[in-house]
Amino acid sequence: MHVDVWQGFLFVNLDRGTPMPLREWLAGQRDEPLSLERFDLGQLRLGVTTETIVNANWKIIIENYCECLHCPTVHPELLETVKAYRTGWVLEEGREDGGVSLPPGGNSYSAQGISTLTVMPSMTEVEANSIYGAMVFPNMFIDMAGTGLIASQLLPMGPDRTKVIAHYLFVAEDLVRDDFDPSPVVDFSELVARQDFEVAERVQRGVSSSAFGQGVFAVKDEAVDVFVQRYLEARDGAS
């Protein structure tokens, strides 16, 4: 077993041989998590942790994360906060930094982007008014806004069952404030996540049917296709 740390996150590699160095692994990720290093994620501190059991295969949850085709019908509250998601794309047209814009004055992954939390000092005004996301293969999501991030960990419990652990991190000085209130972020994120998990569980029921043959990827599923191909390469390479 090999253990390494990146930006405050502990990564475990169960490879019995010589594993790929962690930074090299992260550099090979489609969503470029290394680009988030400019925000100095290690300065953040854990404020809240939630656990949810989802009755779906872990890969279905990741596939859902990798596309926003479902956003207009599944996430009415999220669409009020992130207008770009109304297009069904996960990225915002015209932005080169991978960010998607919050409403003017917004700084958090919350309803309308509003909270009283402290903005990370490493961010510019535009960055603090944005959301950035990254899927780190195989089982991690990073969702961040101006006031912190959510690191989600997917733990397979069986072929049709996954434990999702969401770690909510905030600016360190916020955690010792008497009026620290993470609820605008936690409540909003848990609402959006619950909406995703419900459709993931419906997909699980669908693919479990003997009538199911295969799905079809739309153009906006490009990132899903990348994940599936990478999974197949990892699975076949491991056998």
Binding site for Fe ion (CB under 5 A): 196
Closest to Fe ion by CB, 196 vs 221, is: 196
Closest to Fe ion by CB, 181 vs 187, is: 187
Distance in angstroms (rounded) separating the CA atoms of residues 146 and 171: 10
Closest to Fe ion by CB, 190 vs 196, is: 196
Closest to Fe ion by CB, 82 vs 128, is: 82
User: Collapsing DSSP states into helix, strand and coil, what is residue 126?
Assistant: helix
The answer to whether 86 and 76 are in contact (CB under 8 A) is no
Least distance (Å) from Fe ion to the CB of residue 195? 6
* Residue closest to 169 by CA, chosen among 160, 182, 154, 188: 182
Least distance (Å) from Fe ion to the CB of residue 147? 21
CB atoms within 10 A of CB 46: 13
Question: Which positions ≥6 away from 19 have C-beta within 8 Å?
Answer: 2, 13
Number of helical (H) and strand (E) elements in the chain, helices listed first: 8, 8
Least distance (Å) from Fe ion to the CB of residue 69? 9
Closest to Fe ion by CB, 77 vs 181, is: 77
Least distance (Å) from Fe ion to the CB of residue 65? 7
The answer to whether 148 and 127 are in contact (CB under 8 A) is no
Least distance (Å) from Fe ion to the CB of residue 39? 23
Distance in angstroms (rounded) separating the CA atoms of residues 191 and 186: 8
What is the number of the residue whose Cβ is closest to Fe ion? Answer: 196
Burial code (b: 16+ CB inside 10 Å, e: under 16) for 64-77 equals bbbbbbbbeebbee
Q: Is the dihedral of CA 56, 205, 134, 185 positive or negative?
A: negative
Least distance (Å) from Fe ion to the CB of residue 223? 13
Closest to Fe ion by CB, 64 vs 130, is: 64
Closest to Fe ion by CB, 127 vs 196, is: 196
CA distances, 23 to each of 9, 96, 136, 187, 230 (Å)? 12, 23, 12, 33, 18
Least distance (Å) from Fe ion to the CB of residue 68? 7
